[in-house]
Amino acid sequence: MEEFKSGFVSIIGRTNVGKSTLINALVGEKVAIMANKPQTTRTAIRAIVNRKHSQIIFIDTPGIHKPKTKLGNTMIETAFGSVKDVEVVVFLIEATSIEIGKGDRYYFKQNKRSKEKDNTSH
């Protein structure tokens, strides 16, 4: 008998890069809102894919952006917080991107700081 496996996958990236579209495609139905308007996803949305011997819980996160409001700060904290206890992080960028942009580099810097803090608190 095959072992049952399960895990969490957080999908993160800048606003409007297709995170919700990818979640919907992976799940096979519309579970996340898709719109051309930035910051449509304001909280982490979980979508579960069940298979015979596995279960994957995908987490759709708010887009990473330069916050200008308290809501923006909360959305960024939600996105960064979603990567702490997952097995896989999928960082999505625009398909037309030639290089990693400033916003994407900002995420990597913030994520590295977060990991360093986690390692010192143990």
The structural domains of the chain, with segments of one domain joined by +, span: 5-120
User: Which stretches of the chain drop beneath a pLDDT of 50?
Assistant: 122
- Percentage of the chain surpassing pLDDT 70? 76
pLDDT at 33: 63
Superfamily for 5-120?
P-loop containing nucleotide triphosphate hydrolases (3.40.50.300)
pTM of structure: 0.72
pLDDT at 35: 56
The answer to whether 57 and 46 are in contact (CB under 8 A) is: yes
Phi-psi bin for 52: left (phi > 0), alpha (psi -120 to 50), beta?
Answer: alpha
The answer to whether 27 and 49 are in contact (CB under 8 A) is: yes
